[in-house]
């Protein structure tokens, strides 16, 4: 099975304890599946998952967006720059 | 705006390129250079916004902030914001820089400079850019409170006890 | 804000004095110092406005502007404006400088810097100050057009031919 | 008869050709009288008089404001700073 590399930032990275996480992945799966997978594989991240934003190739992605293992995928909490 | 002309025999191709002045830095922000970069005789108005590290947030005392970014996406989103602003106001030049890393009280975290023919446009465009930056550009701050604790800031506030317990259960 | 305490035996009189940073100058405006003067750890937001000499006004080409002021009254009106702004927004510090004399294209004629706890306040206060300055502070500009002519600018436009003829008649 | 010293600025000063003008003055006369007197004594200024602003002791003054010869009085066109 292929794997999807997911970058993590800010509190998401701190909770997981790593700047990236590798998830088993089948082409055709969506952002919603990614969030489900993250909750299972990283229990410490679970409380933050409902608020996580997902970015695909530098754009925000909705729950029904399909992810390929070649995509650049990132997960992070609501932004607080400025 | 830079005008590039390519001449092929009797054909001339003209490209108008908006010069982007967008950056992320770990060094102190030189807002003077940033402001000079947007000044021009075509524009009667320059507005500069500086965000600085404030001592009190909702009554709690901050001693420092740490900023983290997702640099590639942050730059892409800032360029999108610039284009969105240019589509709404007759902007001459825009420069935006956000600092990352450890910032002390009073340090400048972000600077937005914009020049327009008239002042109302420059104020509106400047406010639009910083407002949108704060909701769409992937940068995060972590508070270093005076009591020694640290806390990531993310809109929507801290996780509720129920959410945390739910995760543990 | 400066706090002055006078102690008389067991009595203490406390005066809170808003430090005014308002000036007129014939020298180039140092907006960097002006901006530094309003920064403070109590304020998360600084807005700076610069008015600069624009090349085109209603399609006519300017080569320079001459500014004249009524200095005592201009300073008094600027201090009134500062107080009016402070009564509407929680302003930390304000600095305003207007240049007088001969200005070339691109030169800065006016700089307004304001710091507030939050950005919306700083944008609103900055825009209020420059908007009101332009309608109530006794300073006038004279255009030096590219064709060699000069013309005082005053809102309401040039005198009509009827007004001029009326004066002659 | 006493006289009132009036400062002139910008186009008003250029039209009169002097930074101040002295007008014969009786205590009790108003800003409206000042404008009338200026039109008579300085014909070149007449077309601008309807638009002139009058300041007394660094404050704008309405037509019914009474002027004393000890007041600091100034006349000028609408302002155009900034």
Query: What is the ipTM metric for this complex?
Result: 0.90
**A39 token code pair:** 């909750």
For residue B137, the chain A residues in CB contact (below 8 A) are 79, 81
pLDDT of residue C155: 76
Nearest to C40 by CA among C54, C59, C21: C21
Length of chain D: 82
Contact C91, C114 (CB under 8 A): yes
| Contact call for B106 and C45, based on CB within 8 A | no
Which among C51, C54, C120 is the nearest to B41, CB-wise? C54
Structure tokens at C37: 């003067």
Chain C CB contacts of B50 under 8 Å are 35, 39, 45-48
> By the 8 A CB rule, do B28 and B50 touch?
no
pLDDT of C95 over the 70 cut: yes
Q: Is D51 on the interface with C (CB under 8 A)?
A: yes
Tally of helices (H runs) and strands (E runs) in chain D: 2, 5
% of chain C surpassing 90 pLDDT: 75
Question: Closest chain C residue to B124 measured between Cα atoms?
Answer: C123
- Are the beta carbons of B119 and C127 separated by less than 8 Å? yes
pLDDT of residue B58: 78
Ordered per-residue pLDDT tens for chain B, 169 residues: 455 566 776 676 666 555 579 999 999 999 999 999 999 999 999 999 999 999 987 788 999 999 999 999 999 999 999 999 999 999 999 999 999 999 999 999 999 999 999 999 999 999 999 999 999 999 999 999 999 999 999 877 554 444 444 333 3
pLDDT in tens, A38-54: 999 999 999 999 999 99
Q: In this predicted structure, what is the pLDDT of residue D32?
A: 97
Task: Please report the pLDDT score of residue C14 as a whole number.
Answer: 61
Structure-derived torsion over alpha carbons of residues D61, D64, D69, D75, reported in degrees to the nearest 10 = 40
Q: How far apart are CA B163 and CA B155, in angstroms?
A: 16
Provide, as residue numbers in chain C, all residues whose Cβ is less than 8 Å from the Cβ of D80.
Answer: 134, 139-141, 152-155
Give the model's confidence band at C58: pLDDT under 50 very low, under 70 low, under 90 confident, else very high. Answer: confident
What is residue C5's predicted lDDT score, i.e. its pLDDT? 63
DSSP state of C92: S
Task: Give A78's pLDDT tier (boundaries 50, 70, 90).
Answer: very high
Q: So what's the pLDDT on residue B5?
A: 63
Does C143 have pLDDT greater than 60?
yes
Q: Is B55 on the interface with C (CB under 8 A)?
A: yes
pLDDT for the residue numbered C160: 46
pLDDT class of C116 with cuts at 50, 70, 90 = very high
Structure confidence at residue B111 (pLDDT) = 98
Report how far residue C108's alpha carbon sits from residue B43's, in angstroms, rounded to the nearest whole number.
11
Distance (Å) of CA B85 to CA A5, A21, A50, B139: 34, 36, 31, 20
Per-residue pLDDT, averaged over A50-75, amounts to 97
Question: Which carries the bigger pLDDT value, residue C154 or residue C109?
Answer: C109
pLDDT of residue B1: 46
C:D CB pairs within 8 Å: 88
* pLDDT score of D40: 95
Pairing of strands D2-8, D73-76: parallel
In the DSSP assignment, the letter for residue A61 is: -
Any contact of B with A, at least 3 CB pairs below 8 A? yes
How high is the pLDDT of residue C71?
A: 98
Three-state SS at C56: strand
Nearest to D48 by CA among C67, C150, C154, C73: C154
Chain A contact partners (≥3 CB pairs within 8 A): B
Report residue B102: phi and psi, to 5°: -90, 120
The SS3 assignment for B60 reads: strand
Kindly state the tokens that stand for D53.
């602003």
Tell me which residues of chain C, numbers 107 to 126, contact chain B at a CB-CB cutoff of 8 Å. 117, 119-120, 122-123, 126
The reply to whether residue B133 touches residue A77, judged by beta carbons under 8 angstroms, is no
Spell out the long-range contacts of D48-57 with Cβ–Cβ below 8 A and sequence spacing 24 or more: D48/C159, D48/D11, D48/D12, D48/D15, D48/D77, D50/C163, D51/C154, D51/C156, D51/D77, D51/D78, D52/D12, D52/D76, D52/D77, D53/C138, D53/D77, D53/D78, D53/D79, D55/C70, D55/C73, D55/C138, D56/D31
Task: Name subunits touching D (3+ CB pairs < 8 A).
Answer: C
Q: Which residues, numbered 67 to 96 in chain C, qualify as contacts with chain B under a Cβ-Cβ cut-off of 8 Å? A: none
Instruction: Name C155's Cβ contacts closer than 8 Å, sequence gap at least 6.
Output: C135, D78, D79, D80
Closest Cα in chain D to C51: D82
| Cα-based angle B57, B139, B147 (whole degrees, multiple of 5) | 35
Q: Which residues of chain C neighbour D53 with C-beta distances below 8 Å?
A: 138
* Helix boundaries (H) for B60-139: 71-88, 119-136
The first and second tokens of residue B23, run together, are 């950056």
Distances in Å between the Cα of C61 and the Cα atoms of C68, C100, C101, C143 are 21, 21, 19, 9
Helix (H, G, I), strand (E, B) or coil at B18: coil
List helix spans (H) across chain C. 31-38, 71-88, 119-136, 161-168
Other beta carbons within 10 angstroms of residue C14's beta carbon come to 9
Which two structure tokens, joined as six digits, stand for B28? 């102190």
User: What's the whole-number mean pLDDT along residues D7-30?
Assistant: 96
Mean pLDDT of chain C: 88
Q: Are C67 and D81 inside 8 Å of each other by CB? A: yes
pLDDT at C1: 46
Chain A touches chain D, with at least 3 Cβ pairs below 8 Å, answer no
Percent of chain D scoring above 90 in pLDDT: 98
Q: Residue C167 pLDDT > 50, yes or no?
A: no
Mutate to test the interface with B, among C30, C34, C38, C52 (most CBs of B within 10 A): C52
CA distance, residue C60 to nearest chain B CA (Å) = 12
Sequence length of chain C is 169
Confidence of residue C168 (pLDDT cuts 50, 70, 90): very low
The answer to whether B91 and B120 have CB atoms below 8 angstroms apart is no
Q: Between the CA of residue A32 and those of A50, A66, B72, C146, what are the distances in Å?
A: 10, 9, 24, 64
The least confident of B14-18, B113-117, C30-34, D24-28 is B14-18
Interface of C with D (CB under 8 A): 51, 67-70, 72-74, 76-77, 98, 109-110, 130, 133-142, 152-156, 159, 163-164, 166-167
Considering only CB atoms, C70 lies closest to which of D43, D44, D76, namely D76
- Which 8-state DSSP code applies to residue A66? B
The 3-state secondary structure of A20-34 reads: EEEEEECCCCEHHHH
Which of B67, B99, B109, B140 would you mutate first to test chain A, the one with the most A CBs within 10 A? B140
State pLDDT tens for residues A2-39.
999 999 999 999 999 999 999 999 989 999 999 999 99
């Amino acid at each position: 099975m292929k794997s999807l590399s997911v970058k993590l930032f800010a509190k998401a990275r701190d909770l997981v304890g790593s700047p990236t996480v590798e998830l088993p992945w089948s082409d055709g799966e969506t952002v919603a599946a990614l969030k489900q997978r993250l909750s299972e594989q990283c229990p410490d991240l679970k409380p933050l998952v409902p608020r996580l934003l997902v970015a695909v190739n530098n754009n925000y992605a909705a729950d029904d967006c399909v992810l390929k293992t070649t995509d650049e995928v990132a997960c992070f909490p609501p932004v607080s720059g400025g | 705006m830079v005008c590039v002309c390519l001449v092929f025999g009797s054909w001339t191709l003209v490209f108008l390129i908006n010069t982007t002045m967008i950056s992320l830095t770990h060094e102190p922000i030189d807002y003077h250079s940033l402001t000079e970069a947007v000044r021009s005789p075509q524009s009667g108005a320059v507005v500069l916004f500086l965000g600085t590290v404030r001592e009190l947030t909702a009554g709690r005392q901050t001693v420092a902030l740490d900023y983290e970014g997702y640099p590639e996406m942050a730059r892409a989103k800032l360029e999108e914001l610039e284009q969105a602003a240019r589509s709404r106001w007759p902007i001459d030049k825009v420069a935006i820089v956000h600092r990352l890393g450890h910032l002390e009280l009073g340090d400048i975290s972000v600077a937005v400079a914009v020049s327009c023919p008239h002042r109302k446009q420059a104020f509106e465009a400047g406010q639009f850019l910083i407002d949108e930056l704060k909701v769409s550009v992937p940068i995060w701050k972590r508070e270093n409170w005076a009591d020694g604790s640290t806390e990531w800031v993310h809109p929507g506030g801290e996780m509720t006890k129920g959410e945390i317990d739910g995760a543990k259960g």
